Structure 1
Amino acid sequence: MEQAQAPQCYRHPGVETGIRCTRCERPICTDCMVDASVGFQCPDCVRNGSGTGHAPSANQPRTVAGGRITGGDPQLITKIIIAVNLAVFFAVLAVPQLDDRLSLVGLAYDPQLGEVVGIADGEWYRLLTSAFLHQAIWHIGFNMLGVWWLGGPLEAALGRARYLALYLLSALAGSALTYLIAAQNQPSLGASGAVFGLLGATVVLVRRLKYDMRPVMALLVLNLVLTFFWEGIAWQAHIGGLIAGAVIAYGMVGGSRERRAVMQWGACGLVLALSLVTVVVRTVALS
């Protein structure tokens, strides 16, 4: 006889639970349930005023990663990231010298600027500023489509702060690996490291929620094929971002509720530390 499947939390598909809201009777997991005078209530019933006597924090439903779900645009950070990338793109069109000042380069003499430039010369800001630069309209177009398609669902699932940390740390890790492996005078730019971080996080999240893995795995394989067979792509940034995004996402959604904070801080700290160590090692080697 086939065993009956346990109900799943209506806010966290894939999370099985035996708890139901005493008001609407929808299944809720331990992350969503709010103490009531009798039993538990879901965040929606509490927010809509169905319950009484709750703590102030009861009106704050949480994401699968434990982040608070705030009001307003659920894709606010994603839209800001896209807007910043577009603003930088048009700024470089107006002032081309910005490209030489902000792109990722290890150590090189720039004839246009008439000086030695690069991360090894103390310009560490290039590790992040390069992730907001793009060469052409098709370049920024593809990357921003990736941010829009992958970023929106991730922002909703992780919460704004965690999502922003994922994006920036993936960009940093991609730049750090590029700095370590690529030629010291080879310039690199683009948000692809961050986008691959979002892709790696999506794979982890889809697996965590027990959704169909085939579409996201097909997307991953396609992007990896393009990474290694399309001429002129900085594969180091793609691989660095992909690994960082997967590690951070696992830390954010992979642990139990009791260990969640430790795993989230630990995953972000690990990626940050390894990125900084990589930069230091490469800088010493170029000194």
Structure 2
Amino acid sequence: MSYIDRRRQEEKDRRRNEIVTAAEEMYLELGWDAVTMDGIARRARLSRALVYVYFKDKHDLHFAIVLRALDILRGRFETAIGQACTGLEKIEAIGRAYLAFAQEYPHYFAACARLEAQAPHPSSSPPTPAAPSPGSQPPVHRLQDAFAPHTPIQVSSSRLQTQAAAVVQTPENTGVDPRQISMFEASRPIHEIVVAVLGDGQRDGTIRQDIGDLVVTSHVLWGFTHGTIQIAITKAAQLAEAGISAARLIEHAVALTLKMLTNTQTSRPVDLSFAESGHETFTDP
């Protein structure tokens, strides 16, 4: 790349980041529903037409904010495991890093949760989709669709690259939004960290051997942790009526996760009463 081309690319990247930052600032101040492309253009001091050159719609900007969030979360996980020793301790450190991330960056956590709760964006599906290729999967829109009989896609338990390739190879057949592919690529290193740590724990004897496929376990841990944090944030009133603080819910979830993973033949069993002892690091909303 020539010097001129490099400068042009740097200018494009700078403008793109300015637009994302403007959208993020509006999101923090007004909430996502009140964010508009016109408002973003004014905040970034750019023309509305130029904003559309970089982002085709508000949904596109939502993806960009989530990609920022995932990059920060990955860094938090890497820092967390660097301060722990055993595999089990690293898993706890990762979980607590996720909790801290959700509290320090509530808008990032909310952006991720909002995106995950949405069905595939209408613009991602072609008007007349092509016939699916053998082994490909249609988008899941309903819970019952997720559990319907289907041909499984083989995924290596040692690497997530195979899983990513299965998505990348068939976007035109599955109706997968290219932005969702970008998000998958951004989240993959996060799961790779967790998979590696689970393997470390099995090798050092702190994590049980019978937890199954580590890729699947990584996703289960993510779902459990993410869902628990979301409930703690959005259902605080209902929890309070049941006499449960959000912090107590979080600590119980951490202890329960460790209890499920701990290799009791080499490590002391996790005492769930510890979660009831007031050791609370999560601040109630």
Same fold (TM over 0.5): no
**Which TM-score applies when normalising by structure 1?**
0.30
- More strand, by proportion: 1
- More helix, by proportion: 2
**Which TM-score applies when normalising by structure 2?**
0.30
